[in-house]
Chain A
Amino acid sequence: MLIKIKDIEFASPLLTASGTYGYGHEVQDLANINEWGGIITKSVTLNPREGNPPPRIAETPSGMLNSIGLANLGVEEYCREIVPFLNKLDTKVIINIAGSTIEDYLETLGILESANGNHVGYEINISCPNVKEGGIEFGVSCGLTETLTSEIRNLTDKLLIMKLSPNVTRIEDIAKASENGGADAVSAINTVIGMSIDIKSRRPKLHTKFGGLSGPAIKPIAIANIHKVYKAVAIPVIGIGGVSNVDDVIEFLLAGASMVQIGTMNYQDPNLGIDIKKKLLQYINDNNIDDIDQLIGKVDVHCS
């Protein structure tokens, strides 16, 4: 079940979505991390961040809202504490980076490039809905997305993935801007802006009022966006949004995803991507599919 993006071969099409598997070491007692196609680590920023005040999460029907505010230890500590652990893994590591200015992103990337990490690439978060400086101003602008992508492209030959927001009018335009800037792939979707209110206290359930909705609740939104992006660009699309079983993965592939990230459901079961991998192999064998490529984008649309 080898999947190739750029020149990188992944042993499984399943990746952990950023922010849902930490830096990998948190789950090492519970799961064989190396069974994943790859892990995408939680967003790292140039400086450490405390994140937003609580409450930061709320449960919603088939999903959850979060507004963590990119809490993380900062790139220098990341290089000291996390990179040596990641270097021991056999799975592919992709580092997610967030920033508020082009300089932030470039400086963070520069530090990571010289960190002697074995990571194969970067996913660039231009779509965090929960902090003003979380890159979303890039993620809603074609011009800024293209500029940021090409500036990063100039600094690295590693796999470069731009992570897209669904909270835009036309996601396919942002995807094209990423492609024009030199991205190797795009990932879609980040969380969908949502809000929830406690009717007793009349307070929003999140301190920041709005947050990002994730989980099975957003799966159809993800599939629509994956398909739109797949139709708009030639680079691979990595699908994310509410995957909880093997059927969802196949649905994402049919919509146009080349690889699939598993996010919120990792909180329930850190082995989910490993179990789904086995079931996907079974599906492929049972249906005499030679190559996973035979599924990608193969949704059989109704005749007009």
Chain B
Amino acid sequence: MIFKETSSVVSNNKIAKGIYQTILYAPDISAYSHPGQFVNILPSYNWKNVMRRPMSIASQGNDEISIIYKPIGEGTRIMTNWKEGSQVDLIGPLGNYWSNYDSGYPILIGGGVGIAPILNLHTQLGKKHIQHILIMGAKNAQEHFLQHDPINHTYISTDDGSVGINGNVVDALKVIFPDGDYPANGKIFSCGPPMMMESVRKFALEHNLCCNLALETIMACGIGICQGCAVERKIDNIADYSYRTHYALACIDGPIFTAEEIVSCL
């Protein structure tokens, strides 16, 4: 079930340098969404652009959902100015969601704007008492809102080494699992900037680790109509005539794809 829901802003706060979290009262979407899914947001009622803005759901429950975003474009800048009680038009929940996390040993890797669906899965696994590792990457300490807490399997990495593990999330994997000692049943779940995810994808393929990636693409409708969010699948023998075999749609076939399934995250 997909809803077009008029939500209202419960809170809208800066949680780290350049990173905002908004909690929205949206009972229908909250009740029906799963970690990994997204909503397509109308930033304002006089929005002059034609496209909504797709955002991953960072949490759901108690009639609310939350989103986490960086103000980089016009839409997200408008979003930072939402006041408590502001009405926000949402379409969702959309897309597929994280699955098969209860078999194997989940390794969650997030970074940059891709932290929302990873945090959501982290919460879900916590509720289900599924032991897992969480790795969050950022440029520097100011961009982090989690604590580096290896005892509780939460690791943060920074490109400048200002906090946590020095380096990117793949460097973090190498520090956490020295000598290539990766758990045999390790299963990666990742979302983040395209370059980061492509590094994770290649790493997973090289080390035979099962890997699920939540991709971000340009998107208009979010419901499989406009066909704008194509993702190239790795196909050995492309048939003369086919549809959504070679080019999947991130909005309805994704946003989550496996590392082997796609050509690239870039």
| Count class of interface residues, chain A | 35 or more
Q: Are the CB atoms of A30 and B2 closer together than 8 Å?
A: yes
Query: Within the complex, what minimum Cβ distance (angstroms) separates B130 from chain A?
Result: 31
A57 CA to B50 CA, complexed, in Å: 12
A22 CA to B221 CA, complexed, in Å: 10
Q: Which residue of B lies closest to A216 (CB)?
A: B50
Stretch at the interface among B103-111, B165-173, B241-249: B241-249
Q: Are the CB atoms of A57 and B243 closer together than 8 Å?
A: no
Q: Are the CB atoms of A71 and B50 closer together than 8 Å?
A: no
Identify the 9 closest CB pairs spanning chains A and B, nearest first. Answer: A57-B228, A47-B241, A48-B243, A22-B225, A54-B230, A29-B2, A267-B221, A215-B50, A267-B220
Collect the chain B residues with CB atoms within 8 Å of residue A31's CB. 4
0/1 interface trace, chain A 158-200, chain B, CB 8 Å (1 if under): 0000000000000000000000000000000000000000000
Q: Are the CB atoms of A54 and B50 closer together than 8 Å?
A: no
Collect the chain A residues with CB atoms within 8 Å of residue B143's CB. none
Give the number of residue pairs across the A-B interface with Cβ within 8 Å.
113
11 A–B pairs (Cβ distance < 8 Å), ordered by A: A50-B238, A52-B230, A54-B217, A54-B229, A55-B218, A71-B243, A267-B220, A268-B42, A268-B50, A269-B4, A269-B42
Query: Within the complex, what minimum Cβ distance (angstroms) separates A23 from chain B?
Result: 9
Q: Are the CB atoms of A50 and B244 closer together than 8 Å?
A: yes
Q: Are the CB atoms of B247 and A51 closer together than 8 Å?
A: yes
Q: Which residue of A lies closest to B3 (CB)?
A: A29
Q: Are the CB atoms of A58 and B218 closer together than 8 Å?
A: yes
Collect the chain A residues with CB atoms within 8 Å of residue B225's CB. 19-22, 26-27, 42, 266-267
- Residue A38 CB within 8 A of the other chain: no
Query: Within the complex, what minimum Cβ distance (angstroms) separates A46 from chain B?
Result: 9
Q: Are the CB atoms of B51 and A53 closer together than 8 Å?
A: no
- Residue B58 CB within 8 A of the other chain: no
Q: Are the CB atoms of A51 and B241 closer together than 8 Å?
A: no
- Residue A74 CB within 8 A of the other chain: yes
Option from A48, A62, A73, A269 in Cβ contact (under 8 Å) with B48: A62
- Residue B224 CB within 8 A of the other chain: yes
- Residue B49 CB within 8 A of the other chain: yes
- Give A residues with C-beta under 8 Å from B: 19-22, 26-27, 29-31, 42, 47-59, 62-64, 66, 68, 71-74, 77, 214-216, 264-271
Q: Are the CB atoms of A50 and B50 closer together than 8 Å?
A: no
Q: A50-B246, A56-B229, A66-B226 are in contact. List 16 more A-B contacts (CB 8 A).
A: A19-B226, A19-B227, A20-B226, A22-B223, A29-B2, A29-B3, A30-B91, A48-B242, A49-B241, A50-B247, A54-B217, A54-B231, A71-B244, A264-B50, A267-B225, A271-B4
Q: Are the CB atoms of A26 and B224 closer together than 8 Å?
A: yes
Q: A30-B4, A267-B220, A268-B52 are in contact. Are A56 and B228 (CB under 8 A)?
A: yes
Option from B4, B51, B229 in Cβ contact (under 8 Å) with A59: B51
- Residue B232 CB within 8 A of the other chain: yes
A204 CA to B238 CA, complexed, in Å: 26
Q: Which residue of B lies closest to A270 (CB)?
A: B4
0/1 interface trace, chain B 84-120, chain A, CB 8 Å (1 if under): 0000000100000000000000000000000000000
Collect the chain A residues with CB atoms within 8 Å of residue B238's CB. 50
Q: Are the CB atoms of B51 and A51 closer together than 8 Å?
A: no
A170 CA to B241 CA, complexed, in Å: 35
- Residue B72 CB within 8 A of the other chain: no
Query: Within the complex, what minimum Cβ distance (angstroms) separates A268 from chain B?
Result: 6
Collect the chain B residues with CB atoms within 8 Å of residue A63's CB. 50
Collect the chain A residues with CB atoms within 8 Å of residue B245's CB. 50
Option from A19, A49, A214, A271 in Cβ contact (under 8 Å) with B243: A49
Collect the chain B residues with CB atoms within 8 Å of residue A49's CB. 241, 243
Q: A27-B225, A29-B3, A30-B91 are in contact. Are A59 and B241 (CB under 8 A)?
A: no
Q: Which residue of B lies closest to A21 (CB)?
A: B225
- From A50, A53, A265, name the one whose CB has the most chain B CB atoms within 10 angstroms: A50
Q: Are the CB atoms of B50 and A59 closer together than 8 Å?
A: yes
- Residue B1 CB within 8 A of the other chain: yes
Q: A29-B1, A57-B220 are in contact. Are A48 and B230 (CB under 8 A)?
A: no
- Residue B47 CB within 8 A of the other chain: yes
A21 CA to B226 CA, complexed, in Å: 8
Query: Within the complex, what minimum Cβ distance (angstroms) separates B119 from chain A?
Result: 27
Option from B51, B223, B241 in Cβ contact (under 8 Å) with A26: B223
Q: Which residue of A lies closest to B233 (CB)?
A: A50
Within 8 A of A (CB), among B224-266: 224-232, 238, 240-247
A31 CA to B51 CA, complexed, in Å: 18
Q: A58-B218, A63-B50 are in contact. Are A51 and B3 (CB under 8 A)?
A: no
Option from B42, B48, B50 in Cβ contact (under 8 Å) with A64: B50
Collect the chain B residues with CB atoms within 8 Å of residue A62's CB. 48-50
Q: A22-B225, A54-B247, A57-B218 are in contact. Are A74 and B4 (CB under 8 A)?
A: no
